[in-house]
Amino acid sequence: MKKIAIMTTGGDCSGLNTVINRVVLGAKNRGWRVYGIIDGTDGLCHRPANVIEMNLDTVPIENARLAGSFLHNGNSCMMNFEKAIATGRMKEFNKMLHDSLAKLKLDALVLVGGNGSFSLAWLNRDVYRDLSLVCIPKTIDFDIPLTDRTIGFDTAVEQLTAYCDQILLTARSHHRWFVVQTMGRDCGRLALNSGIAVGADAILVPEIKFDVDELIRHIKSIERDYGIIMVSEGITLRGHSGRPADMIARKLTAAGITNRTAFPDYIQRTGDTAASDRILAAKMATCALNAIENNETYVMTALRGNDCVTVPLPDFYAAGDVRADPNIPAIKTSNAYIEPDDPLLKVAMEMNVYMG
């Protein structure tokens, strides 16, 4: 009988509880024992480790649709990679993680995380040397290379679209434009997809240079006097500071364009999990369990078309744009961005959306 554990790390999103539920269902169907690590790597710093044995009622099927993570994603009071690097205790921290995993005597660990978590796992892979490490990608940013989708992204797009649908109603009533700021860090995929979905007239993303004067001319050329300008949080405007939406709004106001800013903030990481994310979670959970059966390690599940496959973590790391993590400058993470040949860019052009 295999003994496996699952933990969620990094930022939360919808779909985490679905993948937890599906991993437990699949593992129990194989006759395996499953443990949940509370608070991710932070929970492994507890003595003893903060771990629970999971069964089919731990995350009931009717609760699997809920946002957030039943296992939690971290505790700021505990030691973590960021604190360990800042205090020069990385070697000690890695030993704590390895010792906790060794005491659990696991055959495998399923790590559900983002590009930062996976990069850290690969760069500190000796921590997981005694077990099979299988990673499942989740993030609303969709900034992980080598996969066609990440768990949580579709639900975030749905949340943003629903939010903007309502904003458009008050925009029309008051003849004003709304500058809506999305999450996504340095990747504009969330802004691009939700902007296309809602019918935004301008979408500003970090990957594409834009000219604010051209943006203003474009907005003034539109026959309507209201609409949505979607702004990714990662954009910059030379000579200006503050929140991106506020910077754009000030420029619009100076040009005589009536506008307001709107910040959906954390609702993008909430909401009942969309059906497509639930299906993706089931596919990736099954793929991860098959990988464990095949004794694969240091791999990530990835969607390729309609199929879910595993790719080696070193391939994931090498495939992206490797740069310093904004929260942990001493660590470099692998990042994916909007590609120049993304079909949605052509769609935006055909819809007369200003992007730069």
Residues recognised as catalytic: 141
C-alpha 128/C-alpha 135 separation (Å) is 12
- Are 151 and 346 within 8 A, CB to CB? no
CA dist 204 → 76, 78, 166 (Å): 33, 37, 21
Residue 248 phi/psi, 5-degree rounding, is: -65, -40
Residue 133 phi/psi, 5-degree rounding, is: -105, 120
C-alpha 210/C-alpha 286 separation (Å) is 42
Residue 212 phi/psi, 5-degree rounding, is: -65, -30
Q: What is the 3-state secondary structure (H, E, C) of the chain?
A: CCEEEEEECCCCCCCHHHHHHHHHHHHHHCCCEEEEECCHHHHCCCCCCCEEEECCCCCCHHHCCCCCCCCCCCCCCCCCHHHHHHCCCHHHHHHHHHHHHHHHCCCEEEEEECHHHHHHHHHCHHHHCCCEEEEEEECCCCCCCCCCCCECHHHHHHHHHHHHHHHHHHHHHHCCEEEEEECCCCCCHHHHHHHHHHCCCEEECCCCCCCHHHHHHHHHHCCCCCEEEEEECCCCCCCCCCCHHHHHHHHHHHCCCCEEEECCHHHHHCCCCCHHHHHHHHHHHHHHHHHHHCCCCCEEEEEECCEEEEEEHHHHHHHCEEEECCCCCCCEEEECCCCCCCHHHHHHHHCCCECC
